[in-house]
Amino acid sequence: MTKKGILVVSFGTSYPETRKVTIEAIENRVRDEFTEYEVRRAFTSGMIINKLKKRDNIFIDNTEEALERMINDGFEEVYVQTLHIIPGEEYDDIKLAVHKKRKSFKKLVLGRPLLYREKDYHEVVEALKNQIPQREDNHAVVFMGHGSTHPANACYSQLQYIINDEGLENVIIANVEGFPELDVILPNLKEKGIKEITLMPLMLVAGDHAINDMAGEEEDSWKSILEEEGYKVNIYLRGLGENKAIQDKFINHLEDSIEGNPLRAE
């Protein structure tokens, strides 16, 4: 009998509370819905892996280590499902690890991240509607994306275009580490006459960026900058991984891989 497994790969987080309701919640859904597969975990952030090892004595593999462990444990058919948002640098690292280990399995398939095909963007916008509050005309929602120097940073612009096309008024994406950063969207907020802003993470977990860079009390946090600019600021401190419709998306991407169409276009 073929030994089959699923490797769920995320960037990771050192915050146990958000890990439980995002990464672990998705992993548990995978276990519940794919009962014939053994589910394992890997993180792509070496910094987080090292921090958890040193601080909590928790040992988590990176993608290549996890696949090597699965080879040694006799797995023949493995599906790797990323929980990353865009097909950026971290996703490239997963692809490289999968490429290195492909010949060691009868079947090794990598699924797509949250934003990949056009259909994914439309479905993600529908999922975001579940958490965007009802608002007055002068109340905006600003999503904090991670951002990247990788060409896949353009995914955020495509998502913004589809948000606008879907008629979601005053829902704006800015990034911590890539265009458009907060200072780029500030003139747009003023031009629209915005008075109140709800900040939300456009990240799987509400980790360090959300807690400190977005919602922190330091003067360079988004909350502090926006309050200094005169806005009333509300904080929504939940990662996308808590959104059931986003969880559904990752489950569907995994189903596509198992059905033989991991990069499904239609």
Catalytic one of 146, 150, 209, 253? 146
Is 253 designated active site? no
Q: How many CB atoms lie within 10 A of CB 5?
A: 21
Other beta carbons within 10 Å of 34: 19
3-state secondary structure of 93: helix
Buried residues in 39-58 as b, exposed as e (16+ CB within 10 A)? bbbbbbbeebbeebeeeeee
What would the two tokens of residue 231 be? 């806005």
Residue 184 host element (H or E): helix 182-191
Distance CA 89, CA 15 (A): 22
Q: Rounded CA gap, 19 and 46, in Å?
A: 16
Could you list the beta-strand ranges (E) of the chain. 4-10, 38-43, 77-82, 107-110, 139-145, 171-175, 196-201, 232-235
Query: Tell me, what amino acid is at 56?
Result: D
Query: For residue 74, with 0-12 CB atoms within 10 Å meaning exposed, 13-18 middle and 19 or more buried, which class applies?
Result: exposed
Which tokens sit at 141?
A: 């929602």
Q: Which residues are catalytic?
A: 146
